[in-house]
Every structure is written in structure tokens, then in C-alpha cells.
Structure 1
Amino acid sequence: MALLDTTTVIDVGKGNPRAIRAVEKAGKEGGRLMLSAVVLFELSAGSPPGIDEKRKMLVQAFGILPFGPIHAERAGVIYKELRDAGLDIGPLDAMIAAAAICEDEVLITSNVKHFARIKELKIQSY
């Protein structure tokens, strides 16, 4: 399994060939591709104009990983540690990272700037 970041779903929806290749490769190598419930929230709250129907189709194509208490606790620790170090990535990215860490899965993203700050997070960038 692999988790897709919000930027990845948006990039796939826009037809970004690098994002599409990364998702296809992960699907072949690791099986099921999932979205954290937090990614679903972000997509629902702020999809770029014109991508809404594509977003709906993409969301239906992937499984949704519920965001539970273990994820919330880990996200709080990540968020606090980074904020205290002056490396704030925002609560939503901390939540997405926590889901990947707690599930011991790779996060597929182009947002390396934020996610690389989390040492224990496995990232596949494109």
C-alpha cells in the first residue's frame, strides 16, 4: 500500500505525466493506493476550478484510510516538534504524514519541502 498526498491527486487530475507515472509505478510495486481521510478533506475543501469531477473519479478509484486516534496523537507530536524547531508544516500536512508513518507506508508527493522535514516519513517524490 502507498498513501497519496493531496498534491499528487491534484497533479494526476491535471494530467501531470510525472505524477501519473509515480502513481502507476506505486500501484504496480505496492498494490493498493490509498488516500488519508485528511487528503479527502483537503480535496473537498479546495480543489482547483475545473478539477472537481476528475477529483471525484480519482477519490472513487482509491481506498480511504480513516484518520484515527493513533494518527491524531502522532500528528500532534510531529506538528509540535516541527513548530518548536521553527519548521512548521501546518497541521494538515502533519496529519497526512502521521497517517503514513503509523501505517508504515510510503507517501507519494511532490511537496518534498514540507514532508522531508519529518525524518521517519518514507517519501516517494516525482
Structure 2
Amino acid sequence: MILLDSSILIELFRKKDKKKTLFHNLSQSHKNLCISTITFYEIGIGNRKSHLEYWDLLCENLTIIPFDKTCSETAIAIYLDLLKTNKLIDLADILIGATALTHNIPLATLNLKHFERIKDLEIYN
């Protein structure tokens, strides 16, 4: 199982040649791709009408991991750690990283700059 960050899906929507995306590569080598409810929200609000049908079809084949109380506790710990080192990142990235850590799922992202700051987070890129 691999948790997909929003950047993976944005690349998939933007590139004409889908076979040259990280999503395509991951889908060939991993059976269970998933997203967090935070990623579902981010893509949902940023999605253009031209992508809605494609997004709905894609979601049918992805497991959606909920953001719950345990994820919130992990997110708080991440936030405080990043604050202490003066290396804060976007709130959504903290929440997505917390989801991955809580469920012990590696995170696939094109946004290494933010996610590599989260301790113990396994990253694919």
C-alpha cells in the first residue's frame, strides 16, 4: 500500500502522456494505491470540470484513508516538532504526512522539500 500525495495526482491530470507519470509507475508495481481524505479534499476543490469524470473514475480504484483522532495526535506532534526547528510546512502536508505515519504507509510525493522534514516518514518519488 502507498499513500499518494496531491502532487502525484496533479501531475497525472496535467501530463498528456500518462505513462510518464509517477502514478503510472506506482500503479504498475503496487496493487493498493490510496489517498487520504485530505488529498481527496485538496483535489476536489482544485479540480476543473474537465477532470471531474476522470477524478470520479480514479477514486473508484483508490482506497481513501480517513483522517481520525490518532492522525490528529500525530499531526500535532509533527507540527510541534517542525515549529521547534523553525521548519513549518503547509498544514495540508502535515495532515497528509500524519496520515501516512499513523497508518505506517509510505508516501509517494513530488514535493520532497516539504515532506522530507517529517521525521520517520518513508517517501517514494
Judge same fold: TM > 0.5, yes or no.
yes
Partner Cα distance (1:88, 1:19) in 2? 34
Cα shift readout 1:55-105 (whole Å, capped 9, x = no counterpart)? 333223211111111111101110121123111112211110011111111
Quick one: structure 1 residues 16 and 109, their matched pair in 2 at CA, closer, same or farther if it must change by over 3 Å?
farther
Quick one: structure 1 residues 119 and 4, their matched pair in 2 at CA, closer, same or farther if it must change by over 3 Å?
same
Structure 2 spans left out of the alignment, 5+ residues? none
**Does structure 2 retain, via aligned residues, the 8 Å contact 1:36–1:66?**
yes
- Which residue pairs with 1:111 in the alignment? 111
Quick one: structure 1 residues 98 and 17, their matched pair in 2 at CA, closer, same or farther if it must change by over 3 Å?
farther
Partner Cα distance (2:19, 2:113) in 1? 17
Quick one: structure 1 residues 84 and 17, their matched pair in 2 at CA, closer, same or farther if it must change by over 3 Å?
farther
- Which residue pairs with 1:75 in the alignment? 75
Structure 1 spans left out of the alignment, 5+ residues? none
Quick one: structure 1 residues 73 and 17, their matched pair in 2 at CA, closer, same or farther if it must change by over 3 Å?
farther
Quick one: structure 1 residues 112 and 89, their matched pair in 2 at CA, closer, same or farther if it must change by over 3 Å?
same
Question: How many residues of Structure 1 are paired with residues of Structure 2 in the alignment?
Answer: 125
Cα shift readout 1:100-121 (whole Å, capped 9, x = no counterpart)? 1111111110000000011200
Whether 1:101 and 2:101 are equivalent positions in the alignment is yes
Partner Cα distance (2:16, 2:112) in 1? 17
Partner Cα distance (1:19, 1:6) in 2? 18
Partner Cα distance (1:66, 1:13) in 2? 23
Q: CA deviation at 1:35?
A: 0.5
**Does structure 1 retain, via aligned residues, the 8 Å contact 2:3–2:107?**
yes
Q: CA deviation at 1:50?
A: 4.2
Range with greater deviation from structure 2 (82-91 or 104-113): 82-91
- State the identity as a percent: 28
- Which residue pairs with 1:41 in the alignment? 41
Partner Cα distance (2:77, 2:18) in 1? 32
